[in-house]
Chains A and B, each alone.
Chain A
C-alpha cells in the first residue's frame, strides 16, 4: 500500500503544475474591432450585446453621440467609438443595424457602436502589459493595457475612465450624454427595440458557444448542436433576456449540467447496464477489442468490462482506455471501492481486500489504462466497440473531425459506437439504434 500512496502523491505533484496554468485565466474580455484593430473591454463592464439601428438623434450633442435608443424601456445613449477615437467609420444608412456593446458603468448604461464584435477571450491578468504610445489613435489614458492572445494584440480599453461621470479632460462629454438620456421620454416596451433583440439572439447564442469553449472547452458542432439549441431555448426561458450570458465558470457548468450522460464518474447502475445490454447488437468475435477514449477516472471502463464479461463470458475482451488527464487516469488501475452503492453485477467481479472492494484480476487484466492524448496518433487495433461518452464535445471542432475519422478507420464492420446521451454521430455510414438515455450506433459499410 505504501508504494501505492507514494505513487499517488508523486503523480499529484506532477499534475499540480498543470493545474496552476489552467487557473490563470482570471480576466475575461469581450473583443471587438474598430477600423481593423482589435480591442477588448472587461466583461464585467459589458451588460449585453445587441444589434440595433434607427437611433433617435439628439440635437447639439457631441459628434460621437449618435443619439439615444430605447432598449426594452430603458433609454440609453448611443456612442460611436469610432468617431470618438477619430477612426474612419463606415456611415451606414439610418435604418441599418449597428453592432452594439451595452456597457454598464456605475448606474449608467451606454450603447457603444463598434465595427464587429468578435468573442469572449479569457486571459491571465499577468499577461496584460501597460500601454505604449506606439499603439496610437486613442489617448493613452483610456487604455488599460495590451494583451496578446493567439498571436493577436488586443488593446484593453479602460471604460470606467472613458465614460467616468467626472471627466476632467473633456468637460461636457458625459454631461451631454447624461442629459440626452434623461430628457428623452420613455416610450414603453415594444417597437423596434424588441425586433433588434430578436435579431441579437443569434449573437447571444454565438457568445454562449464561445464562452462554453473558453470555460469548459466545450465545442458546439454537428455532434451536439441539437442539444445546444434545445438547451439554449430552455436557458432563454429560464433567464431574463438581459441575463443570458455565461459570466462565470459556475454559470457555464449550470448550462452544461443536463448535458452529461448518466453515471459520469461512477459505476453504472444495474438498470443502465441492462438497458445498454438490451439494445446492443451481438458481437460475434471471440476476442473483443474495445476503444474507450476519454475514460476519465476509469469507472465506465470497469462497468463496460463487467457488462462484456456477463454477456460474453467465453470471449476475451481487451479495453484500451485512455485519457489525457494524468491525475485522473493514474488512479484508475488501482481503484478501491466501498461496498455501498455498487450493484450486484459489479460485486460479482470484485474481491475484498483490507482497503475495500477491488475488481478481480480478470477484469483488471482486460483493461489497459493509458495516458494518451487522442489528438495524437491513435495506435489502436481495429475495434469492435467504441465507448466515447461526452468526450468528442470537449475537443475543438477540428479535432472532433479528426477523431471521428479515426473512429471510421480504427473500427471493424459492425462496430458498435456508444456516444454521450446528447451526442450524435454526424457521419452517415453509422446507423443509429434508439434507446433511452443512450446514443448507440452501428457501423454499416
Chain B
C-alpha cells in the first residue's frame, strides 16, 4: 500500500473516534497482514474505487460494538439492533470519508461505496492478492481494528 495513504487513515480514525467517543483513544503499532483474516464478530466495510481499488474494514467484538453504539447514541442499547448497526456503519463512514477527503487534498482521487455491516460468529474475510494494513485502536469501550487494503490500478 502506498505510503501516502497510511497517515490520512490513521489520523482520521484517531480524530473521529476521539470526537465521538469522548474518551482516551490509544493507537497500537501498525503492521501488515497477508490476505485472509478472521473477523472478531462485527465488521463494517467500506469499498474504495477510483485511482485505486480496495476496501476499509472496521473489525470489533460484539460487546465493543454495542458499547460504542450506546456511547454514540447517549443511551444504553441492549442488543445489536438496527439502530446499533446503523451507528457502527455511520462511524465507519465518518472515518473513511474524512480520510478520503484528506487524500483528495493531496491529489488522490477516491470514491466511496456505501458502507455495509456484517455480524456473526466465526467469520473470515479474504481477498486475494492484496495485503492489509492493520491499524489497531484501543478505545475505552474495547478494541477496534481498522484493516485497510488498497491496491493501485496497474
Q: Which residues of A contact B (CB under 8 A)?
A: 7, 10-11, 14-15, 17-18, 320, 324, 326, 329-330, 332-333, 368-373, 375-377, 379-381
Contact = CB atoms under 8 A, between A and B. Distances in A.
Interface of B is mostly: mixed
Contacts of B27: 14
Q: Nearest 8 A-B pairs (CB), nearest first?
A: A381-B154, A17-B29, A376-B131, A376-B34, A369-B3, A379-B129, A373-B32, A377-B129
Contact of B4 (A10, A333, A375): A333
A11 B7 contact: yes
B78 interface: no
A324 B151 CA distance: 16
Contacts of B10: 10, 14
B35 A376 contact: yes
Contacts of A329: 3
Contacts of B32: 324, 371-373, 376
A371 B1 contact: yes
Given A368-B152, A377-B130, A326 B30 contact: yes
A169 B129 CA distance: 63
Contacts of A372: 1, 32, 131
Contacts of B90: none
B131 A377 contact: yes
Q: Which of B3, B27, B34, B133 has the most CB of A within 10 A?
A: B3
Nearest to B14: A10
8 contacts: A10-B11, A11-B6, A14-B10, A333-B4, A370-B3, A371-B1, A376-B35, A380-B154
Given A10-B10, A376-B35, 15 more contacts: A7-B7, A14-B10, A14-B27, A14-B29, A14-B30, A17-B28, A17-B29, A333-B4, A370-B2, A370-B3, A371-B1, A376-B33, A377-B34, A377-B129, A380-B154
B128 interface: yes
Contacts of B3: 329-330, 332-333, 369-371
A18 B29 contact: yes
B6 A371 contact: yes
Interface residues of B, number: 24
Interface of B: 1-4, 6-7, 10-11, 27-30, 32-35, 128-131, 133, 151-152, 154
Contacts of B131: 372-373, 376-377
Contacts of A18: 29
A10 to B, nearest CB: 7
Contacts of A15: 29
B128 to A, nearest CB: 7
Contacts of A377: 34-35, 128-131
Contacts of B29: 14-15, 17-18
A395 to B, nearest CB: 15
A445 B7 CA distance: 42
A320 B131 CA distance: 15
Nearest to B33: A376
A370 B128 CA distance: 18
A15 B3 CA distance: 14
B122 to A, nearest CB: 24
A332 B30 CA distance: 18
Contacts of A10: 7, 10-11
A332 B27 CA distance: 23
A368 B3 CA distance: 8
A368 B151 CA distance: 11
A402 to B, nearest CB: 12
Contacts of B30: 14, 326
A381 B29 CA distance: 30
Contacts of B28: 17
Contacts of A379: 129-130, 151, 154
Contacts of B34: 375-377
Contacts of A333: 3-4
Nearest to A381: B154
Nearest to A321: B3
A17 B135 CA distance: 13
A7 B9 CA distance: 12
Contacts of B133: 371
A329 B7 CA distance: 13
Contacts of A368: 2, 152
A330 B35 contact: no
Nearest to B154: A381
A317 to B, nearest CB: 14
A242 B2 CA distance: 49
A228 B119 CA distance: 54
A209 B17 CA distance: 48
A138 B96 CA distance: 60
Nearest to A7: B7
Nearest to A378: B129
Contacts of A14: 10, 27, 29-30
A111 to B, nearest CB: 46
A14 B11 CA distance: 12
Instruction: Name the residue in B128, B130, B152 with the highest tally of chain A Cβ atoms < 10 Å from its Cβ.
Output: B152
A329 B6 CA distance: 11
A11 B5 CA distance: 12
